[in-house]
Amino acid sequence: MSDHIHARRNRAEKAWQTEHVVLIGSGSPIPVPGGMDQIHHFEPHPDHYWLTGHRTAGAVLAYDAHEGWRDFTPDLTEDDRVWEGLTERAGEPISGLAPWLAARKDRPKAVLGVPGGPLKGITTDRTADEVFAERLLHARRAKDSIEIELMRRACNATARGFARAREFAAAGVTERAIEIEMQAECFRHGGEKMGYHNIVGSGTNAAVLHFSPSARGVQENEFVLIDAGCQVEGYTADVTRTFVVGKPSTQQTELHGIVKETLLFGNSQCVPGKEWRELHLECAVRMTQGLVSLGILRGEPQGLVERDAHALFFPHGLGHLVGLGVRDASGYLPGRARSDRFGLAFLRMDLPLESGYITTVEPGLYFIEPLLRDPKRRERFAGDVNWDEVDRWIGVGGVRLEDNILVTDAGPVNLTESISLDI
């Protein structure tokens, strides 16, 4: 076993401090319905992968404080050898799991990762499962050197894709064609797959937060928003850039400038101890100040944010932890609850940053018709929003800028700094 897997297992043991037998399922392959003889791309549960370093379906990692760890994986079948060309599998045969469990039949157990499959029928106390899962999640928030290196590779491949997309984007080129060029370039530079569905939106499509690239051709002087990240050995970047094809208008330049200034401020604040909720609100106040200066919002920025007026234009959180998946180990510290406020309900995490965390910072300002044309909202925010001015902006679309920041004791390290922030 490699040193880093050994160190991760020590971190998990320390976090659990338990007499429970802990079982972590990697998950099972999901067949494509209809007898296609195909399975969906398999991604192991991140807890299992992080503690084993292999990406095997139907596997179980087992822990007993008195004995240590056992890594059970399915036996290699003739089909595996014939159809997939496999010659060996990590771990030990899963046929050993049943007797191993039988020898511990009176011990309390916790099931983490993906339940079912080889773990079907094991009785646990759901509260204990959740407590151990939460502790493991927290234990793996800080990235080790192997993870940081994989993130650097994912970010570098992503940077190549974004550079190519910017070079290729032109009036008449479709969102889909931009996606294809970007993705191919990512793959040429080490990206193994994309970490999530690519987002490419032009014009008003830039205001659709998770827009799927379409056959729409970009028009001269429009925004193009691209949100994409390559994955390398399970680790993904999550990057957004917004730029104009052709010559930016004054409105576009002003909007982009506010978001860019907020991104750079947000990046600079990613230091150990910084409370994420606080940083989200600080960035909301800065962007609100910008919207006041544009005549879109009226009043004092702090008060506007307290009344959630900013969320009409910034309806998502400032970011989330990223790495082993696009929402890696984000969440709320135990004891912290999700707010039901319009301006805070969507925060994906509420925790203090620590050295080794990798977080996205992703401020955005958008003119989203379903939010801004809603009569109830127009009434609720009648005193805070200059709705006539909003109507003059609604076709502009939106801007999001997103970097991936490694938090260190020596200050923030921007893993995506090489990707141009130019409009």
Instruction: Write phi, then psi, for 85 (nearest 5 degrees).
Output: 75, 20
CA dihedral 185, 364, 406, 227 (to 10 degrees): -20
Burial class (CB in 10 A: 0-12, 13-18, 19+), 91: middle
Nearer to ligand GLY by Cβ, of 137 and 200: the residue is 200
In the bound complex, what is the minimum distance in angstroms from residue 362's beta carbon to ligand GLY?
A: 5
- CA gap 383, 371 in Å, rounded: 17
Q: Does 350 bind ligand GLY (CB under 6 A)?
A: no
In the bound complex, what is the minimum distance in angstroms from residue 229's beta carbon to Mn ion?
A: 7
The residue from 42, 168, 196, 342 that contacts ligand GLY (CB under 6 A) is 196
For 125-217, list the strands marked E by DSSP: 193-194, 199-202
3-state SS, one letter per residue, for 321-358: ECEEECCCCCEECCCCCCCCCCCCCCCCEECECCCCCE
Nearer to ligand GLY by Cβ, of 42 and 196: the residue is 196
Which 334-363 residues touch Mn ion, going by CB under 5 A?
360, 362
In the bound complex, what is the minimum distance in angstroms from residue 242's beta carbon to ligand GLY?
A: 13
Nearer to Mn ion by Cβ, of 55 and 316: the residue is 316
Site string for Mn ion, 360-389 (x = CB under 5 A): x-x---------------------------
Q: Does 227 bind Mn ion (CB under 5 A)?
A: yes
Which 208-247 residues touch ligand GLY, going by CB under 6 A?
227, 238
Which 229-268 residues touch Mn ion, going by CB under 5 A?
238, 240
Among ligand GLY, Mn ion, none, partner that 291 touches (CB below 5 to 8 angstroms by kind): none
In the bound complex, what is the minimum distance in angstroms from residue 362's beta carbon to Mn ion?
A: 5
For 233-372, list the strands marked E by DSSP: 235-236, 239-245, 331-332, 349-350, 358-361, 364-366
Phi-psi region of 126 (alpha: psi -120 to 50; beta: other; left: phi over 0): alpha
In the bound complex, what is the minimum distance in angstroms from residue 319's beta carbon to ligand GLY?
A: 8
Q: Does 346 bind ligand GLY (CB under 6 A)?
A: no
Site string for ligand GLY, 114-153 (x = CB under 6 A): ----------------------------------------
Burial class (CB in 10 A: 0-12, 13-18, 19+), 362: buried
Q: Does 362 bind ligand GLY (CB under 6 A)?
A: yes
Three-state secondary-structure class, residue 86: coil
Give the residue among 280, 266, 222 at the shortest CA–CA distance from 247: 222
Nearer to ligand GLY by Cβ, of 20 and 320: the residue is 320
- CA gap 58, 122 in Å, rounded: 15
What Cα–Cα distance (Å) separates residue 173 from each residue in 65, 78, 202, 219, 329?
59, 48, 10, 8, 37
Q: Does 384 bind ligand GLY (CB under 6 A)?
A: no
Three-state secondary-structure class, residue 50: helix
Q: Answer for the pair 115, 136: CB distance below 8 angstroms, yes or no.
A: no
In the bound complex, what is the minimum distance in angstroms from residue 154's beta carbon to ligand GLY?
A: 13
Q: Does 179 bind ligand GLY (CB under 6 A)?
A: no
In the complex, residue closest to ligand GLY by CB: 227
Q: How many chain residues are in contact with ligand GLY, going by CB under 6 A? A: 6
Among ligand GLY, Mn ion, none, partner that 308 touches (CB below 5 to 8 angstroms by kind): none
Q: Which two three-digit tokens encode residue 77?
A: 């079948």
- CA gap 174, 180 in Å, rounded: 10
In the bound complex, what is the minimum distance in angstroms from residue 323's beta carbon to ligand GLY?
A: 13
Nearer to ligand GLY by Cβ, of 56 and 360: the residue is 360
Which 38-97 residues touch ligand GLY, going by CB under 6 A?
none
Within 13 Å of residue 84, how many CA atoms lie on the same side as its CB? 11
Q: Which two three-digit tokens encode residue 262?
A: 């907020």
The residues binding Mn ion (CB under 5 A) are 227, 238, 240, 360, 362, 402
State the residues that interact with ligand GLY by CB under 6 A.
196, 227, 238, 326, 362, 402
